[in-house]
Amino acid sequence: MKTVYKDEFIKLIYSDAFKYLESLPDKSIDIIITDPPYFLSNGGISNHGGKVVSVNKGDWDKKSDSDANIFYNRLTFQIQRVLKTNGSILIFGSMHNIYKIGFFLQKYDFKILNNITWKKTNPSPNLSHRMFTHSTETILWAKKKSGIQIFHYELMKKENNNKQMTDVWETPTIQKIEKKNGYHPTQKPLSILIRLIKATTNPNSLILDPFVGSGTTAVAGKILKRRVIGVDFSKDFLEIAIKRAKLYKQEKIGTIR
């Protein structure tokens, strides 16, 4: 484990996620916001910019179903251990892995609060023509059953034209301008992370992202003046995160509805 960047709000650590989680004391983190591997790198094809491309993202995204189950089980156990009693988790997934994640959350006595659906307004077309076009990803929000989660209801209502905010959010897929400091294959829109942090944290909350990748959680936290610990085992991705942390005022925040 090595701290590769630190400022008033962000600490970025080069480490295996499990090694770092296992080093933390019990009940030491307020909220975990993360986008773990989906394990979709199976040799298939997809569409990117009108071109046929491989779905393979890297060795970090390759596991068999049984190994993926072991991974998510181990991850959820550690998350349950390090979260404070009133802590909560926001975790990204797709139809390929989110049901596994939901199963393990309930196994470790979490209560799922919301199944937030991120609807992409410009999804890649389906190449097989044998099924509907995939246009959504999921963010599960869960808390410990004995805890009371943070939720800024009135703020979310105000940002939604004084109407209750629903659990379906629309944005375009990640824009090129959000990747100007480097490419990450599964980077999420900054607008989504900003909304999640606004809704579910307080100014003194400590956020952990054990799969910080290109640093979107950290950048969103810094914009909102929240403390974020970001961990990743890729030096290349951490270099992108460091650049974005230093240049956070130049970040482009896309639209979200």
| 176-233 tens-digit pLDDT | 888 888 888 878 999 999 999 999 999 999 999 999 999 999 999 999 999 999 999 9
User: What is the arithmetic mean of pLDDT over 227-248?
Assistant: 96
Asked if residue 219 lies in contact with residue 251, where contact means CB atoms within 8 angstroms, the answer is yes
Residue 185 buriedness (CB in 10 A; 0-12 / 13-18 / 19+): middle
Residue 198 buriedness (CB in 10 A; 0-12 / 13-18 / 19+): middle
CA distance 171 to 165: 15
CA distance 243 to 233: 17
Its pTM surpasses 0.85: yes
Residue 174 half-sphere exposure toward CB, CA atoms < 13 A = 19
| 108-148 tens-digit pLDDT | 999 999 999 999 998 888 888 898 989 999 999 999 999 99
Amino acid 44: pLDDT: 43
| 47-97 tens-digit pLDDT | 444 444 444 445 534 556 778 899 999 999 999 999 999 999 999 999 989
CA angle 236, 242, 243 (to 5 degrees): 95
CA distance 45 to 129: 13
**Which domains are assigned to the chain?**
2-250 (3.40.50.150)
